[in-house]
Amino acid sequence: MKIGYPCVNETLDCSAATTFRLASYNDERLVTTVTNNLTCLQRILEYNVQHGLLFFRIGSGIVPFGSHTVNTYPWQTEFAPQFRAIGDYIKTEQMRVSFHPDQFVVLNSLDPGIVERSIAELVYQGSMLDLMGLDSTAKLQIHVGGLYGDRDVAIERFITTYRTLPEAVQVRLVVENDDRLFSLRDCLRVHEAVGIPILFDNFHHECLNHEEPMREALRLAAGTWHPTHDGVLMMDYSSQQLGERKGKHTFSLDENRFREFLTHLNGLDVDMMLEIKDKEASALRAVAILRELGLAAPVPLATSV
């Protein structure tokens, strides 16, 4: 089992998400920013390896305006060596990475322009994984999208659009159950139509479900991942922040709830992304718990302190 956290490392003094305003776009600014982001990404990955965190979600803004028409700079070729080096490091250390395109990516939108821009964004993020030389176990996770008043039609439109995607995107795309609109059951319908794996979010499932027990839900989601093409089930883990609106992620890992959740795995291997506000701090506590339970690799001798 690999444990990870999304996008931002709060310990290091660098950011892999530096950007600039669209209005101030120019190629020189782009080159400087991408160079900075890739340098920082490498540092974050090294930190992660040293701390036993072998799963990481890379932020969407590594290449600012990566799918925007304003950006005509050939970053794919100009930065190929840097992407390749990062990919080599990921493979050498047997890490797993993913991207989570944000809420603007809506494949089932009624607006063809939004669909077009969404596909461009998926192509951009997928191409970074291609440039790193990573196989199709490195994923792009999105939600089904909008409801538009008719669940069946909305799901059908997602399926129709999925079938038009470039193969390079199709093999990496996974769909995540959300907390308000599309449940695990809805995602299973999409899976049955096109074979897309389901990224399971335990917290979203607690918010929106059809009474499937957690253990059964995990089993259903895991069954959508092809062992070699897709790898083991990726999941997002979080829990409710007490006293806040339903769906609000906890600020730091609730260890008792985490231990309780682990019992539902029932021997299932998963790679777990901790969607928790304090990032690597909680991820490190999760790794410590897993080591105590014999579910994660021990501290590497060379880097143990």
Partner DNA sequence: CGCAGTCAAGGGAGC
Partner DNA sequence: GCTCCCTTGACTGCG
> Whole-angstrom Cα distance, residue 15 to residue 36?
8
> Is residue 180 a contact point for DNA (CB under 7 A)?
yes
Are 251 and 216 in contact by the 8 Å Cβ rule? The answer is: no
**Rounded to an integer, what distance in angstroms lies between the CA atom of residue 195 and that of residue 223?**
11
CB environment 211-248: b (16+ within 10 A), e (fewer):
ebebeebbbbbbebbeeeebbbbbbbbbbbbeeeeebe
Does residue number 209 form part of the binding site for DNA (CB under 7 A)?
no
Using the contact rule CB under 7 A, the part of the chain among 66-74, 128-136, 209-217, 281-289 near DNA is 66-74
Tell whether residue 114 is a contact of DNA (CB under 7 A): yes
- The contact mask relative to DNA for 129-158 (x = CB under 7 A, - = no) is ----------------xxxx----------
Give the SS3 label for residue 7: coil
109 interacts with DNA by CB under 7 A: yes
Instruction: Indicate which single residue of 96, 100, 117, 139 sits in contact with DNA (rule: CB under 7 A).
Output: 117
Binding segment for DNA among 81-89, 114-122, 155-163, 215-223 (CB under 7 A)? 114-122
Binding flag, residue 126, DNA (CB under 7 A): no
User: At its nearest, how many Å lie between DNA and the CB of residue 281?
Assistant: 12
Partners of 198 in beta bridges: 175
Helix (H) or strand (E) holding 142: strand 139-142
* 121 near DNA, rule: CB under 7 A: yes
Q: CA-CA distance, 192 to 272, in Å (whole number)?
A: 24
Is 15 a residue that touches DNA (CB under 7 A)?
Answer: yes
Q: Which of 181, 220, 232, 289 binds DNA (CB under 7 A)?
A: 181
* 148 token code pair: 């538009």
Hey, which bits of 241-298 come out as E strands? 270-274
Q: CB of 130: closest distance to DNA in angstroms?
A: 18
Nearest CB to DNA, comparing residues 133 and 247? 247
Given 1, 3, 17, 132, the residue binding DNA (CB under 7 A): 17
Q: Whose CA is closest to 142, among 179, 115, 169, 103?
A: 103
Q: Which region among 161-169, 224-232, 242-250, 286-294 touches DNA (by CB under 7 A)?
A: 242-250
Under rule CB under 7 A, residue 102 binds DNA: yes
The answer to whether residue 18 forms part of the interface with DNA (CB under 7 A) is: yes
Q: Does 197 bind DNA (CB under 7 A)?
A: no
Kindly state whether residue 23 participates in binding DNA, applying the rule CB under 7 A.
yes
Pair 189, 144: CB distance under 8 Å: no
Q: What does the DSSP assignment read for 59-128?
A: PTTSSTTTTSTT--S-HHHHTHHHHHHHHHHHHHTT-EEEE---TT--TT-S-HHHHHHHHHHHHHHHHH
Contact 108, 60 (CB under 8 A): no
Number of residues forming the site for DNA (CB under 7 A): 39
Name the site residues for DNA (rule: CB under 7 A): 8, 15, 17-24, 60-61, 64-68, 102-104, 106, 109-111, 114, 117, 121, 145-148, 180-181, 245, 247-249, 275, 277
